[in-house]
């Protein structure tokens, strides 16, 4: 493969190493003027340029099609990464020089004080970084006409290679892979996905979950959603009572919309404060099912008590009461 790696100004690569899996580790320097555009990854050691020339350390996947890890390394003045090596665990060892008195060092290191002019530096980096997980903002299933539509939105992604779609006719049954979509790599921007299952029987409920696979082969699973295909589209807006209710772990919320529109489904507490936004996307007409796991938008488990779920589509609005009992 052959790829560019850099900014709108001046960058230089000085050292490269390759691990047993074919991942490439590169180091060099990047100039201050355009360095804010040098590619870094979410959760990396340092994603902000520090001034003048900074060292960069980058890890590319075996095909050169995605950035697995990218970080700056430097202080407020001049640095240059001259060479890099990698061990069997994927840690990178970088050497070069620095003219910065605030170059990052670690507690207990051999020498934590800059000695004057340009010093040699040696740094060991864990290029798995401090990864932020894929943030799955929403995942819903809608029963369409002779099909089921899956929509999901991510708030951010790290190293996302593939989404695999699994289906079952029982929530606790054996799931079978029925499709996949290519992920968007690493991005801080919201990403939307849609997959349509046309291999379903009208009137039969189906359950779905997603498996997100990264470029290293690691994976995570989503929660389960369900929907039923119909032979005719709904004629009215409906927000059904959640089930079970009361609930102590998860509860399912079903609704239907007769026409395309922007759908917002939000959980509120008794003070009127927003607790969790379950849906905030454009959706086609159809029936939908969403699970709430009793957590707020930050992933924290909420306390027992009364909650309200409000569906709003255009001028239509309806609210139901739900009881979380632990």
Query: Do 214 and 119 share a structural domain?
Result: no
Residue among 296, 302, 198, 285 at smallest CA distance from 236: 285
Are 264 and 279 a contacting pair, CB within 8 Å?
A: yes
Query: Do 298 and 283 share a structural domain?
Result: yes
Of 185, 202, 232, the one marking the end of a domain is: 232
CA 160 – CA 253 distance, rounded (Å): 29
Full domain range(s) for residue 93: 11-126
Instruction: Output the tens digit of pLDDT for each of the chain's 326 residues.
Output: 999 998 877 889 999 999 988 999 999 999 855 445 788 877 678 888 887 889 999 999 898 888 888 888 988 889 999 999 998 877 899 999 999 988 888 777 788 888 988 999 999 887 654 444 567 888 999 988 788 999 999 888 877 899 999 999 876 778 999 999 999 988 878 899 999 998 887 788 999 999 998 887 778 888 889 999 887 667 889 898 988 899 988 888 988 899 999 999 999 999 999 999 999 999 988 888 888 999 999 889 999 999 999 999 999 999 999 999 97
Query: Do 319 and 244 share a structural domain?
Result: yes
Query: Do 148 and 119 share a structural domain?
Result: no
CA 106 – CA 125 distance, rounded (Å): 11
Number of domains in the chain: 3
3-class SS of residue 35: helix
Of 110, 126, 142, the one marking the end of a domain is: 126
Query: Do 64 and 116 share a structural domain?
Result: yes
Strands of 77-146 (E only): list them. Answer: 79-86, 91-98, 119-126, 135-144
Query: Do 143 and 62 share a structural domain?
Result: no
Of 198, 232, 266, the one marking the end of a domain is: 232
DSSP string, 121-138: EEEEEETT-SPPPPEEEE
Query: Do 296 and 197 share a structural domain?
Result: no
Query: Do 155 and 223 share a structural domain?
Result: yes
- 1 falls within a domain: no
Query: Do 281 and 214 share a structural domain?
Result: no
Query: Has this prediction a pTM greater than 0.85?
Result: no
């Amino acid at each position: 493969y052959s790829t560019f790696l850099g900014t709108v100004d001046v960058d230089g690569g000085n050292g490269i190493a390759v691990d047993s899996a074919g991942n490439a580790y590169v180091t060099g320097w990047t100039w201050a003027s355009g360095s804010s555009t040098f590619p870094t990854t979410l959760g990396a050691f340092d994603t902000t340029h520090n001034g003048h020339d900074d060292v960069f350390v980058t890890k590319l996947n075996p095909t050169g099609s995605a950035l697995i890890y990218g970080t700056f390394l430097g202080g407020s003045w001049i640095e240059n990464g001259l060479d890099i090596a990698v061990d069997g665990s994927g840690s990178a060892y970088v050497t070069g020089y620095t003219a910065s008195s605030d170059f990052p060092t670690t507690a207990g290191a051999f020498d934590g004080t800059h000695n004057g002019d340009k010093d040699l530096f040696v740094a060991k980096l864990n290029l798995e970084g401090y990864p932020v997980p894929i943030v799955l903002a929403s995942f819903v299933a809608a029963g369409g006409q002779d099909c089921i539509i899956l929509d999901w939105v991510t708030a951010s992604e790290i190293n996302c290679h593939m989404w695999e779609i699994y289906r079952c006719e029982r929530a606790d049954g054996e799931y079978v892979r029925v499709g996949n979509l290519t992920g968007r790599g690493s991005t801080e921007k919201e990403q939307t996905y849609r997959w349509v299952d046309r291999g379903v029987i009208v009137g039969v409920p189906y359950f779905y979950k997603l498996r997100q696979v990264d470029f290293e082969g690691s994976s995570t699973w989503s929660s389960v959603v369900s929907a039923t295909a119909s032979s005719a589209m709904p004629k009215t807006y409906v927000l059904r009572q959640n089930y079970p209710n009361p609930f102590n772990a998860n509860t399912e919320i079903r609704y239907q919309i007769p026409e395309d529109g922007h759908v917002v489904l939000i959980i509120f507490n008794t003070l009127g404060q927003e607790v969790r936004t379950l849906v905030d996307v454009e959706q086609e007409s159809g029936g939908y099912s969403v699970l709430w796991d009793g957590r707020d938008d930050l992933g924290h488990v909420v306390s027992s008590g009364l909650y309200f779920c409000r569906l709003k589509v255009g001028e239509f609005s309806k609210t139901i009461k739900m009881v979380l009992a632990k």
